[in-house]
Amino acid sequence: MGGNPPLGVLFHWLGGFASASFYVPYKRIRLWSWEVFWLAGGIFSWAIAPWVFATLRTENLLGVLGATPTRTLAWCWFWGAMWGFGGLTFGLTMRYLGLSLGMAVALGLTTVIGTMGPPIFHGTIGEIASRLSGQLTLLGIIVTLIGIVVVARAGSAKDKDLAGKVSEGVMEFDLKKGLLIAIFSGVMSGCFAWGLDAGQPIRDLTLAAGTDPLSQGLPVLCVVLAGGLTTNALWCGWLIGRNRSFGQFFGRGSSDISGERVPLLTNYLLAALGGTLWYFQFFFYTMGETQMGRYGFSSWTLHMASIILFSTLWGFALKEWKGASVRTRALVWTGIGILMSSTVIIGAGNMIDAGSLPEAARSEQQ
């Protein structure tokens, strides 16, 4: 299946935009502790939205999952749970390594593990590297890593410009502890791609049931995100118990200095919006993946590049870069340009491969 790589890149950009945007509604939630709004939004991200959209856009969802081998379901859930650990420890990476080094190590590892892990595991990396199309795709991955490093350095420079000193994260700098946490976070975060890869039998079953190929990955998300929900719910539950913040779900124990009570309806609506936006990153990711042909593994790189690209642009829109020096702004725009070029290179590699598939198919038939 050759797919349509330009359309795939567009879907990945939409997913990256959704991922970069989901925290904007969360910022407007008032008088809720982090663990409360994170879990409230997460219920929409990892439980409600996956099942609603999979039910609407696929055929016989329950029948497909019921016919899926238990081993497949277990692996998809397991990799989703491991990915949850990566997200929960990402903040500690920034704390002990600072923005520049922390982002470069964690996001770089996430990109490499999530992208290169499946083809290495399946033994197809040699075949990929032997083709011009594969070489272009691999080059795009390398360019993405360069872009991540440049944007991370720009973020660190911005903190110094605005604060006039190193950030608090760097003040707590601990190279040994920070690198260990960054490696753990990067490897665990990349596990999401492994979960999607393990879900191929689910895709096969839902296609056999008559699902549109564009939506074949949605049932897989129901299982993988259930793993992520497990990890995050356990952590948030522990925090809620420790901080005694459970009553905030019902408006109890939350008020500001003036005595104003928590705006429950508004908070739940914002959590629902943010959580659904978060889900949409993978809604579009699975669609984009179907269009990338033989090199679907490159979807993870496109996903990471798009998230960083649009997160940085949101930073400009929200005036987070106001006051940064001209040199720092030039550095971040250079990073954005590199990330954009990486998506073009990966798309070009996939297009070359898509164009060569008919000839390859004929050769196999002969």
Q: Is residue 303 part of a domain?
A: yes
| Total number of domains in the chain | 1
Instruction: Quick: pLDDT tens for 108-153.
Output: 777 777 677 677 766 777 887 788 877 887 888 888 888 888 888 8
Give the domain extent around 347. 5-359
For 21, phi then psi, to 5°, come to: -100, -15
Which pTM value belongs to this model?
Answer: 0.82
Can you say how many angstroms the Cα of residue 179 is from the centroid of all Cα atoms in its chain?
A: 21
Q: Quickly state the pLDDT bin for 159 (edges 50, 70, 90).
A: confident
Q: Which residues contact 135 (CB under 8 A, 6 or more apart)?
A: 129, 349
Instruction: Quick: pLDDT tens for 319-364.
Output: 878 888 999 899 989 988 988 888 888 877 767 765 554 444 433 3
Task: Look at residue 2 and give its three-state secondary structure.
Answer: coil
Token pair of 128 as six digits:
């990929």
Task: Look at residue 167 and give its three-state secondary structure.
Answer: coil
Q: Is residue 115 part of a domain?
A: yes
CA-CA distances (angstroms) from residue 363 to 359, 360, 366?
6, 5, 5
Q: Is residue 366 part of a domain?
A: no
Token pair of 92 as six digits:
């500690």
Q: Is residue 364 part of a domain?
A: no
Closest among 75, 3, 1, 87 to 41, alpha carbons compared? 87
Q: Quickly state the pLDDT bin for 275 (edges 50, 70, 90).
A: very high
Q: Which residues contact 242 (CB under 8 A, 6 or more apart)?
A: none
Indicate if the alpha-carbon torsion angle 135, 136, 137, 141 is positive or negative: positive
Q: Is residue 365 part of a domain?
A: no
